[in-house]
Structure 1
Amino acid sequence: MADLHHQIESQPVIVVLVPLPLHSHLNQALQLATLIAAYKIPVHYATSATHCRQAKLRFNGQKSSDISNIIHFQELPDPISSYPENNLHPSLNASLELRHPMTALLQKLSSLSKRVVVINDSNMAYVVQDIPSISNVESYSFTCISAFSLLCILSQGILTTEETRFRKIVGGIEKIPQMTQTVTPEILNFLAVQSPYVDLKHGDIINTCRTLESSYLDLLKDENRDKKPQWALPLHTLHYRVDGVDKSRDKCLVWLDKQPPKSVLFVSFGSSTSMVEKQVKELAVGLRGSKQRFLWVLQDAERADGLSKAWKSGLPDGFEESVKGIGMVTRDWAPQVEILGHGSVGAFMSHCGWNSCMESLSMGVPIVAWPMHSEQPYNALLVTEMLKAGVAVKECDGDLVGSDLIKEAIEEIMVSDEGVIKRERAEEIGLSLRKAVEEGGVTRLEVDSFVKHITR
């Protein structure tokens, strides 16, 4: 405690990041933490001991030996109910037990600084509900999904009972998927627990770029009756640079070095998605039938401790031998951002998690959209219908997708005239996203605005 006091006692403002304990959310929160720390503001990253370790281990997809020199990790006690290996619902419910340890931490930190700024994942509103009782602590909600997806969800009354205020987004858009069809009742219950506390925030941070979603951000702001401030911070484009990557360190990048420009379809479905073996086989047959080069990361979903297991079966007999020379299958972790930034990658088959969408679009890579659950169908709709930077494999309906449909989607994006247009559109978007983070760009100005606000 004495060391902590010495480190921050002269600081008028300290920041505390409170992430949702799921890998993609942990990573986004840690990226935001390092971004703010670059302004010489003390930043604390507060979550359970298990997830502090996971966040450090997987930061930006690789081990980071010096992250603890930049960020103060506050390891809260692991919940009594623990984090099971392969069950999301108990993991989310266990996170609710962090409320009282979090409040105790914030009370302690509040005595050491003029102002404590809490940035909590929007799905951790319950955990930080006691903030109004601490006079010099203020909170900002951090949304890890797209503005478009958030509007789609709000229009259904999932996060608020005043859904009619957000109906504008659905006008003229057909087939807005219902959250009741894309998430389990247990997750809906978890969101309902957060609902009474979502308006305690002092403002909103959304992981997106104003040049990409300006109209949707404006809609959110217009419908904000309390006129709380809003900032759009696309974290992946703010942090990542292709230049300087040591491409010799990963076998996937070495393999890509040998492929023609824009010729490879990258296939990966994130850390929270598993396919049944029949679907794995259909995907394999579709890939082979398309006769396009591909790099396929084939892994099962992550456990709650941040580890994932490779698929050991599901591929047709002799598949890897039959595609030798044009296709590569890896069962290991792969550096997704570096892969998407490689010149040989022409498209990305993705589950459309928002992290993956932003990484792909920022690199100018179009998306073959295959949403699985949660807000992914809305992201897929944004990419394919609104931005015109991808093609859809299927709707999020849980049905088995045949190899013919998969083959058609791959051929459409990789070799058709329409695919050329979508690939050009993705490149335009990538250029605009990269310009936004340059000195004087709209995103850089937005970061400066937020820092100026919290250090006022």
Structure 2
Amino acid sequence: MANQSQESVPERQSSFSSSSASVVVVVVPFPAQSHLNQLLQLSHIISSRKIPVHYVGSTLHISQVKSRANQALNGTKTLIQFHDFPIPHFPSPLPYDTKFVSHLMPSFEASVKYLREPFANLLTLLSKTATRVVIIHDPLMTSVVQDSSTLPNTESYRFHCASSFYYFASLRDTLGIQIRHDGDNDPKNIPSCEKSLTPEFGAFIGYQVQFMKKMKTSGHLYNACRLIESDFLDFILEKARESDEDVKLWAIGPLETVTSFKNRWGNRVDSQGQHKCLEWLDKQERNSVLYISFGTTTFMKDEQIRELAIGLEKSGVKFLWVLRDADKGNVFDEGEVRRPQLPQGFEERVKEKGIVVRDWAPQLEILGHSSTGGFMSHCGWNSCVESISLGVPIAAWPMHSDQPMNAVFITNVLKVGVLVREWAKKDELVSSSVIEKVVKRLMKSEEGDEMRKMAEELGNELRKATDEGGVSRMELDSFIAHITR
């Protein structure tokens, strides 16, 4: 049997039993960090409505997402029950792939292969006692949840962790349509979704699509906000209804600001057990620091790290750089670890201007800090949502998957960011001189100041959207009312 555990909270829900609930929710995330994180946030939101939630994953990935959850989530009373099922361990190959996490694919594929049976057993157990079992799953886990259609009192909903613009661009590729937004976007500048994937990951997605076509879904959830994505969401829904007129769509983002950090209260986001980098940020001027992080699935070669370091040093801009390697199949494996190399003497030379963090850092707290004025990012959708929700403009440096489309959305549509590198030049080394110019443009120019102003205004509107009466809050309320009808 699986190892079932409840989240550690101030008042443990030890007496919780799914058998007493008329409606229970089962959440099945794809085991990449940003996907795990978004669905954990959603689990907290749903459980705050007094609905029991069962969060399903491997033992490894449950431990991973718990260890990296921000303090606000960890300190919340919850009705979440974790079901952590063991899967075989696959060591990560070295050297890592630079385009996409091929070193993580064995772990992803193992989760898909080994979670189907325990998930089906859990679902059968819950369906015997609950009036309705609601499955919310990542589309990339459709093969895992395929057996849910055999039970009469279950409903399944797909939670999309990528932007609606990415799915819109995917439809562009599939249907051969042109994308324009307010008449000023050249469709030729929007990358091909297919070409942003490695063959291995493309094949994995293709495998899941087979099950998506066979399995009826009751609706779609997006970590998106209609204030900025309405046109794209409407188009996606229109196309979905061509095959199923009853399908529903809810845009309930930004998730993170629903659960916490709705407002930036001065410098200090959270004073309890704070990371050392937050103490450093406390001493810096407002909007003076560029935060640099490329997520959990990006590997950067030493020569590119060197150019980035030189460019930062030459720019004279204050920075907080999270410089850690990409996740391995087992993030807790203490075996061989690659330590990215900086130019000799770099940290000593820039100690008055910058700080380099080599371990996991609290991204949300950093972005929410008043000293942070820009974010150099890989443009994973989770990072984009967090950044724009907290009013921080982005230096967009996409690496793979949905990131090139997200970068276009940030820079061309929302206009709250600048491109570090055009996607057409993705295989070229970005020189220190280019990096210096981009950093200065974002952090030391009137154009950058205007982007910061626009980002702050946009962030305020997005946070309002999650408050009572806001457009995202109303969509969330609509979804909750639908599953508890």
For 1:270, the aligned partner's letter is G
Name the counterpart of 2:124: 107
Contact 2:135 2:154 in 1 (8 A): yes
Distance apart, 1:313 and its partner CA: 4.5
Distance apart, 1:446 and its partner CA: 1.2
Q: Percent identity?
A: 45
Tell me, yes or no, if structure 1 residue 264 matches structure 2 residue 289: yes
For 1:204, the aligned partner's letter is H
Contact 2:323 2:340 in 1 (8 A): no
Name the counterpart of 1:363: 390
Name the counterpart of 1:239: 259
- 1:196-215 Cα shifts (integer Å, max 9, x gaps): 22252110001111112111
For 1:6 and 1:293, locate their aligned partners in 2 and report how far apart those are by CA, in whole Å.
49
CA 1:248/1:52 → structure 2, altered by over 3 Å: closer, same or farther?
closer
Q: Over aligned residue pairs, what C-alpha RMSD do you find?
A: 2.3
Name the counterpart of 1:141: 158
Distance apart, 1:181 and its partner CA: 2.8
Contact 1:301 1:308 in 2 (8 A): no
Which of 305, 309, 326 is the aligned partner of 1:280? 305
Contact 2:223 2:251 in 1 (8 A): yes
For 2:130 and 2:178, locate their aligned partners in 1 and report how far apart those are by CA, in whole Å.
42
For 1:238, the aligned partner's letter is V
CA 1:83/1:15 → structure 2, altered by over 3 Å: closer, same or farther?
farther
Distance apart, 1:353 and its partner CA: 0.5
Name the counterpart of 1:174: 188
For 1:85, the aligned partner's letter is S
For 1:387 and 1:238, locate their aligned partners in 2 and report how far apart those are by CA, in whole Å.
21
Contact 2:377 2:383 in 1 (8 A): yes
Contact 1:16 1:116 in 2 (8 A): yes
For 2:439 and 2:170, locate their aligned partners in 1 and report how far apart those are by CA, in whole Å.
29
Tell me, yes or no, if structure 1 residue 421 matches structure 2 residue 450: yes
For 2:40 and 2:228, locate their aligned partners in 1 and report how far apart those are by CA, in whole Å.
23
Distance apart, 1:305 and its partner CA: 2.5
Name the counterpart of 2:92: 85
- Once structures 1 and 2 are overlaid, which stretch shifts more, 91-100 or 181-190? 91-100
TM-score, reference length from structure 1: 0.92
Which of 366, 371, 376 is the aligned partner of 1:349? 376
CA 1:428/1:327 → structure 2, altered by over 3 Å: closer, same or farther?
same
Contact 2:73 2:259 in 1 (8 A): no
Consecutive unaligned residues in structure 1, runs of 5 or more: 158-162
Which of 44, 48, 51 is the aligned partner of 1:41? 51
Contact 2:173 2:192 in 1 (8 A): yes
- 1:232-289 Cα shifts (integer Å, max 9, x gaps): 1221121222445117722111111111111111111111111100000000000011
Which of 169, 191, 200 is the aligned partner of 2:205? 191
CA 1:38/1:313 → structure 2, altered by over 3 Å: closer, same or farther?
closer
For 1:107 and 1:125, locate their aligned partners in 2 and report how far apart those are by CA, in whole Å.
17
Contact 1:144 1:206 in 2 (8 A): yes
For 2:130, the aligned partner's letter is S
Distance apart, 1:5 and its partner CA: 11
TM-score, reference length from structure 2: 0.87
Consecutive unaligned residues in structure 2, runs of 5 or more: 2-12, 94-102
Contact 1:299 1:331 in 2 (8 A): yes
Contact 1:363 1:430 in 2 (8 A): yes
For 2:70 and 2:147, locate their aligned partners in 1 and report how far apart those are by CA, in whole Å.
31
For 1:202 and 1:437, locate their aligned partners in 2 and report how far apart those are by CA, in whole Å.
24
Distance apart, 1:148 and its partner CA: 0.2
Question: Could you say what secondary structure the match of 1:9 adopts?
Answer: helix
Tell me, yes or no, if structure 1 residue 377 matches structure 2 residue 404: yes
For 1:308 and 1:143, locate their aligned partners in 2 and report how far apart those are by CA, in whole Å.
29
CA 1:248/1:136 → structure 2, altered by over 3 Å: closer, same or farther?
closer
Name the counterpart of 2:248: 229
